[in-house]
Structure 1
Amino acid sequence: MWTRSFLILHGVENRRPEGHWQHELAMDLRERGEQVFYPQLPDTDRPKLADWTDAIRAELALMRGEKIVLCHSLACAAWMHLAAADAASSNPASADRVLLVSPPGPEAYDWDVIAGFSTAGLDLAGLRLAGHSVRLACSDNDPYCVEGAAEQYGRALGCEVDVLPGDGHLTFTDGYGRWPSALAWCLDETERLTPNH
């Protein structure tokens, strides 16, 4: 009987490459005997919000025990839209814990490929992103959130925020292969996300 399960959600143009912290985290958790869902979301090069939220809901339905969700980049926006839909329909929270890593900022949605994911119309303060805890991890120089994710999302969501100075979009090319503090947070929600250097 699983007491918890993990759902790892990637961003646009991401094909779950080896070396990326999400891929390494999925492998590390599985080696520890954890139940991990790490789906390839549909049409990663030209994603549609409804397709992604439908796919995420299908994965959530398979999870057992404590549901722990980790989103990177565009998946953060998809999760916020899913949470907004849940709030509008008075459904209970879809997850027990959520980690949002490097969500795109308002200017990023000028790119037509992801424009449909814009969080501009969402009441961030009213979102119930998780039943228990939400944490945001971001840098202070993310090219996809020039507005600053800590300010843009952290304050509005009222969540715990870990700022990793100078670490860009927190991708493999930014030095985020295996990320020990992400694994530590998975195993203990009181852990903070720390820089990978």
Structure 2
Amino acid sequence: MTPTLIIVPGLGDSGPGHWQTLWQHRFGAGRVQQDDPDHPLPEVWAARLHEVVGATPGELVLVAHSAGVATVAHWARLFGAEDRVRGALLVAPADPGQPGMADLHPELLALAPLPLEALPFPALLVYSENDPYCTPERAEALAGAWGASAVSAGEAGHINVDSGHGEWPDGEILLSEALHAWTPPAVVRF
């Protein structure tokens, strides 16, 4: 059985040309829609993710971008393990501790501090070498703390529409590979 993708957007709810929105339509994914997508509050955003997870049947895969990555980390800390979550694709995390964040997006400061406990499900963190919201070193440190695998997307900016990632076919490949890795082998009985 194929798991249901749950899209966890960051600031601004990932607009119509964003790869998350395109994936939602292409794959029939669920989506976390925050009441105020421009002002993240960890407890509020995590609670909305918890509502969506609870209302979506079957196995799930979380697909988070930017502040949505922080939402997944806060959700795991606040609500614990959810056995139906097979894994998470965490893309371009926004680090509220990044130098200059107060100038880039001061609203992201509300997400600090990021939880550093291991996630209760497998995860793949995809980061960029030139993301203004998170250094490669910090992305790798977050992946290590969360027990996630990490992969560089090269110089891909914030892996959003502004950096030329509408469809993002490389992301689909990464998701497919991660899903394959997270799928337990079939039991064969003789």
What range describes the TM-score normalised by the shorter chain of this pair?
0.7 to 0.9
Distance 1:47 1:69 in 2: 18
Question: Counterpart of 1:64 in 2: which secondary structure?
Answer: coil
Q: CA deviation at 1:75?
A: 0.9
Q: Normalization by structure 2: what TM-score?
A: 0.81
Aligned to 2:85: 95
Which runs of 5 or more structure 1 residues have no equivalent in the other structure? 31-35, 193-197
Q: How does 1:169-188 map to 2 (within 5 A)?
A: 169-188=158-177
Aligned to 1:21: 19
Structure with greater helix share of residues:
2
- Distance change >3 Å, CA 161–CA 24, structure 1 → 2: same
Q: 1:155 aligns with which of 121, 138, 144?
A: 144
Which runs of 5 or more structure 2 residues have no equivalent in the other structure? 182-190
Q: Normalization by structure 1: what TM-score?
A: 0.78
| Superposition misfits of 4+ residues, deviation over 3 angstroms | 91-94, 108-112, 146-150, 184-188
Q: 1:117 aligns with which of 104, 111, 120?
A: 111
Question: Counterpart of 2:154 in 1: which secondary structure?
Answer: coil
RMSD of aligned residue pairs (Cα, Å): 2.4
Question: Counterpart of 1:107 in 2: which secondary structure?
Answer: coil
Contact kept in structure 1, 2:119 and 2:147, CA below 8 Å: no
Aligned to 1:164: 153
Q: In the alignment, does 2:72 pair up with 1:82?
A: no
Q: CA deviation at 1:173?
A: 1.5
Q: Give the aligned length.
A: 177
- Distance change >3 Å, CA 145–CA 24, structure 1 → 2: same
Question: Counterpart of 2:107 in 1: which secondary structure?
Answer: coil
